[in-house]
Chain A
Amino acid sequence: MTINKSMNGNELTVALEGRLDTMTAPELEAELKNSMDAAQSLVLDFAKLEYISSAGLRVLLSAHKVMARKDGMKIIHVNEIVSEVFEVTGFADILNIA
């Protein structure tokens, strides 16, 4: 999985490419841990994300909890497969999916 980060003022944008699963979730977790302190809001761009597993969902939930204490987190450009996972797991009700 490739992770591309950019800061626009206080907004951190993290674009993922590939699969977010048991193998790659720790990498995203580490990157977010390093970067979220400096950000007031977080945007996760899933335009090139092919697949998300439970391990990936857990990382999103942790990030959501951290950013909820600031200006929040949103997820953009979610494909059909990932969208279905969010629906079935109830994450669609928890996360801000644009």
Chain B
Amino acid sequence: MATVTIQNLTKSYGDHQVLKTLDVTFQEGEFVTLLGPSGCGKTTTLRLIAGFEQPTSGKIWIGDALVSDEHTLMPPEKRDIGMVFQSYAVWPHMTVFENVAYPLRIKHVAKTDVAERVNRMLSVVHLEQYAQRFPNQLSGGQQQRVALARALVAEPKLLLLDEPLSNLDAKLRESMRFEIKDLAKSLGITVVYVTHDQSEAMTMSDRIFLFNNGEVQQCGSPSEIYNHPINPFVADFLGKVSFFGGLSENGQIYLHDWEHSLPDPHAAVTGAVTVGIRPENIRLYKGDGDIQGTIEKLYYLGDTTDFRVRIGKAEVRVIMDGASHNKFAAGDKVALEIQDMMIFPDDNVQEQLRIRT
């Protein structure tokens, strides 16, 4: 296990700065996800940690070893790391056993030890009965497990994964997430995982680092970032959210399109604001209430019902359970209860959200 310490790290290609001053530490045994849209800097960060790129400035330590700065670049094979890529890339001409044995043979590990360690790792990834099969005899998920076993068999200090599940179908992606997480926990290994998929990040991570435009927008546990996003980009990237412009004064927020005020007991921000409301944080009821609206559309998705409710000039999205589909219909007048909302100062919200549109 190792910590990863990154200090004042930047990376530019010519005039184009892809990573802007990263200062973070990943703790021993932590499962950290670098999350963000395409081009945000997350893969560049992973490649810098791996030693595939050299910093423009700044330093990287793995454990106590300085592995990278603008003058030093320890080669990847000397960093004691395991890596799994999107393409997993197992050798087609070698058996599962030989694929997993490869890192140990390159390190001249004794034959008896190779057999023991490979068999143990195959057992950990539940492939022990496939040891003599060739990759083309395996499913995509099984091949990915071979790649994982190969990355872990040499007991590296650090495991780096670059979108390893992107080539798998949705159901397999979901099950492999839990497998990777459980495996990492059981081995106690420090993991840095890159993905653009927020569901992967939410289910697997001890901490998420959400990148945009080469900078970390926010880092924290999944629940911290989801429930307390620091800006509209973070709120919008993780989960669903609707934004409404308003004016906050005297403990009330007047939402222009709703033509209605909501109480704001904290009143942390005053003046022009943007209010973000997650659709699962609104409840609909029949009858009267402080906030009234009309259901314009509803969509049944099995486990949930997705509503569009007209309030004033606004169309408000509400998500409730699947059974709600039988309780409401288009045209119903309803009362809304807002259970939680996020309030942001209204500066450059559209610019922040632009990357997502």
In the bound complex, what is the Cα–Cα distance between A49 and B308 (angstroms)? 63
Assess the B89–A22 pair: CB atoms within 8 A: no
9 A-B residue pairs with Cβ-Cβ distance under 8 Å, sorted by A, are A21-B75, A21-B76, A22-B52, A23-B53, A53-B76, A88-B105, A89-B91, A89-B94, A90-B93
A1 located at the interface, meaning its Cβ lies under 8 Å from any Cβ of chain B in the complex: no
B106 in complex: contacting residue of A21, A22, A88, CB < 8 Å: A88
Verify if B77 is at the interface (C-beta below 8 Å from A).
yes
- Indicate if the CB atoms of A51 and B75 lie closer than 8 Å: yes
Is B130 in contact with chain A by the CB < 8 A criterion?
no
**A63 contacts the other chain (Cβ, under 8 Å)?**
no
> Across the interface, which residues of A come within 8 angstroms of B76, CB to CB?
21-22, 53
Whole-angstrom distance from the CB of B296 to the nearest CB of chain A?
51
The answer to whether B77 and A90 touch across the interface, beta carbons within 8 angstroms, is no
| Minimum Cβ distance to chain B for residue A30 (Å) | 17
Q: How large is the interface on B (under 10, 10 to 19, 20 to 34, 35 or more residues)?
A: 10 to 19
Given contacts A22-B52, A84-B106, A88-B102, 14 further A-B contacts (CB under 8 A): A19-B75, A21-B75, A23-B52, A23-B53, A51-B77, A53-B76, A88-B105, A89-B91, A89-B94, A90-B91, A90-B93, A90-B94, A90-B98, A94-B93
Q: Which of A81-98 contact B (CB under 8 A)?
A: 84-85, 88-90, 94
- A54 contacts across to B, CB distance below 8 A: 89
For residue B89, which residues in chain A have a CB less than 8 angstroms away from its CB?
54, 58
In the bound complex, residues from chain A placing their C-beta under 8 Å from that of B52 are 21-23
A-chain residues with CB within 8 Å of residue B98 when the two chains form the complex: 90
Please report B residues at the A interface, Cβ cutoff 8 Å. 50, 52-53, 75-77, 89, 91, 93-94, 98, 102, 105-106
Q: Give the A-B pair count, Cβ closer than 8 A.
A: 28
Min CB distance A88 to B, Å, is 4
Contacting residues, chain B, for A58 (C-beta < 8 A): 89
Q: Which residues of B contact A19 (CB under 8 A)?
A: 75
Residue of B nearest to A94 (CB): B93
Q: Which chain B positions have C-beta within 8 A of A53?
A: 76-77
CB-CB nearest in chain A for B105: A88
Interface residues of A in 36-54 (CB under 8 A from B): 51, 53-54
Instruction: Report the bound CA distance from A3 to B281 in whole Å.
Output: 59
Q: Is the CB of B102 within 8 A of A89?
A: yes
Rounded to whole angstroms, the CA-CA distance of A88 and B98 in the bound complex is 9
Q: How far is the CA of A84 from the CA of B76 in the complex (A)?
A: 18
Q: Bound complex: CA of A54 vs CA of B75, how far in Å?
A: 14
Q: How far is the CA of A54 from the CA of B87 in the complex (A)?
A: 12
**Min CB–CB distance B110 → chain A (angstroms):** 14
CB distance from A51 to the nearest CB of B (A): 7
CB distance from A90 to the nearest CB of B (A): 6
Q: How far is the CB of B85 from chain A (nearest CB, A)?
A: 9
Instruction: Give every chain B residue within 8 A of A90 (Cβ-Cβ).
Output: 91, 93-94, 98
Residue numbers in B under 8 Å from A51 (CB-CB): 75, 77
